[in-house]
Structure 1
Amino acid sequence: MVQQQTVSYVKGINCIYLPVSNIHESAKWYTENLHLELLKEVHEHSTQAQLKISSEQTIFLIKVATTFNLTYFEVDGNEQCVLTLEVPNIKQLHEKLRANLIEVEDIQDNQGCGLTFAIKDPDGNKIDIWGGWA
């Protein structure tokens, strides 16, 4: 019996929403450290910030009433992130973040899966930084 191939109804991921306690501080952190573009000025009463990754991808920072983050632990105890960002020059970014005194993990070589390291934003949202397929 030949299984018929179906086309996914999902085309891609357009945006992700991250909880933050301070819109100004978080927007500044993402723009300064990852060079994401702030699409709309953040004001005193702003409840969100929109950061452009590409013409088709955006991160929304959403102000929350109770501080929490989206980092979680797998059943075996490994801390896991909710977001992986692909970067063109992982070693250069790693050095820049260290120079900016951002807490960064060491670069890991995951063989065929490429180089990665993790960082946390001001609210503790863990973000995986990925250098692309090896």
Structure 2
Amino acid sequence: MGALKRIGTTYLPVQDVKESANWYEEKLDVVINYLDDEKAIVDMANQSFFLVKAELGETSNFIDYQGKEHFSCTFEVDGLRNLEEIHKRLLERGVPVGEIENRGHAGRNFVFSDLNGNKFDVWSELSPDFKRRYK
């Protein structure tokens, strides 16, 4: 196919748009580009994230075949040291953060959640394409 170049926007369900936008700004150092009662647009990891007012209990997570709730997005950082630093910073900021894991592939990962229960993965390895293009 080849025509798709990148993901430009990700949509995340939230309960309270202003509270969620402020949480992302405070905990993850995002820039809020737009805010109204129904949505906020924040910049994070070279992408726009729309925080969209949703029904109570909605998250971006899904249940995998083993019945386990799963994240739908992985952020990449440059190396184990950076992974450990962001893990520590999120813990210090009161973000729900899992342990750093060895999942049997290159690098290490951990999972964190936002105040709405949306789960995200963080991986210590930058993709080869990203390294080639931007490093």
How would you bin the TM-score normalised by the shorter chain?
0.7 to 0.9
1:82 pairs with one of 72, 76, 80? 72
- Residue 127 of structure 1 corresponds to 120
Q: Which has the higher helix share?
A: 2
Per-residue CA distance 1:73-129 (angstroms, 9 max, x = gap): 211123211111223421111111111222110011235432211111111111111
Alignment match, 1:3: none
The match for 1:23 among 2, 17, 24 is 17
Q: How many residues are aligned here?
A: 124
- State the TM-score, normalized to the length of structure 2: 0.80
The correspondence for 2:60, drawn from 70, 93, 99, is 70
> Which residue is equivalent to 2:42?
51
Name segments (4+ residues, structure 1) moved above 4 Å: none
Residue identity in the other structure for 1:36: V
Aligned equivalent of 2:29, options 16, 27, 35: 35
Compute the TM-score of the two structures, normalised by the length of structure 1.
Answer: 0.81
Unaligned runs of 5+ in 1: 1-6
Structure 2 unaligned blocks of 5 or more: 128-135
What SS class does the counterpart of residue 108 from structure 1 fall into?
A: coil
